[in-house]
Amino acid sequence: MSDEGKTMLVTGASRGIGRRLCDLAKATGWHVIETARTPKDGMLQLDVTSAESHDALAAELNGRTIDALVLNAGIYQARGSMENPEYTAEAFTQAMLTHVAGPFFAVRAFMPNLKASTTPRVAIIASRMGSNAHAGGGSYIYRASKAAAINLASNLAKDLKAEGIAVAAYHPGWVRTDMGSAAADLGVDESAKGLLDRIDALSLVNSGSFLTYDGQAIGF
């Protein structure tokens, strides 16, 4: 079924994968609600670490249907080994707020908007670095917070099935963005195109899955 004319809300639309996903989705006929913590022209304000920010945006949307909720905003602080002094309580807090509380707040706030859709979907942009099956050591905050994001996706998929809402977690690849760096092996176009295909294909049949941008299953 075509998604032309359907509505997608994207968090972290200011740059990187989220930005490109918005552009590609619009080019394929989606209406896109672009959100950012510091919105530019045409964007709506949403700081994913704040429950109040989600509630304010939900009020502004006033029941508007959301067919696909794409929870993309992310941060990657304190890389590497535990000797890195950036492993602070504040860094742990910010990552958990951004990657775990944010998606939870979004699903809770936008539940009426999702329920208004005939094909509601929630895509949580996680990371292979959050997979226990691929534990590579180091970058503890990022890995643990993305693992929690994948866990959240699994539990939301279970709970929201009765509401007809599909939920899945995705790994966008190692992508050349500010976060991924110029050394990454994938262009942002290829990643965003793959994620858009995954979002198109997300339904109750594959709800609860954890897939790469190009559709490979990843061990939890």
Ligand X SMILES: NC(=O)c1ccc[n+]([C@@H]2O[C@H](COP(=O)([O-])OP(=O)(O)OC[C@H]3O[C@@H](n4cnc5c(N)ncnc54)[C@H](OP(=O)(O)O)[C@@H]3O)[C@@H](O)[C@H]2O)c1
Q: Minimum distance between the CB of residue 73 and ligand X, rounded to whole angstroms?
A: 3
The length of the chain is 220
Question: Does position 204 bind ligand X by CB under 6 A?
Answer: no
Question: Does position 180 bind ligand X by CB under 6 A?
Answer: yes
For 34, counting Cβ atoms within 10 Å of its Cβ (0-12 exposed, 13-18 middle, 19+ buried), the class is buried
Question: Does position 75 bind ligand X by CB under 6 A?
Answer: yes
Question: Does position 7 bind ligand X by CB under 6 A?
Answer: no
Out of 3, 34, 47, 200, name the contact with ligand X by CB under 6 A: 47
Long-range contacts of 135-144 (CB under 8 A, 24+ apart): 138/79, 138/80, 138/81, 139/76, 139/78, 139/79, 139/80, 140/78, 140/82, 140/87, 141/77, 141/78, 141/87, 141/91, 141/92, 141/95, 142/76, 142/77, 142/78, 142/79, 142/95, 144/95
Question: Does position 175 bind ligand X by CB under 6 A?
Answer: yes
When the beta carbons of 72 and 207 are compared against ligand X, the nearer one is: 72
Question: Does position 48 bind ligand X by CB under 6 A?
Answer: yes
Which stretch, 57-65, 156-164, 171-179, 204-212, contacts ligand X (CB under 6 A)?
A: 171-179
Question: Does position 15 bind ligand X by CB under 6 A?
Answer: yes
Question: Does position 98 bind ligand X by CB under 6 A?
Answer: yes
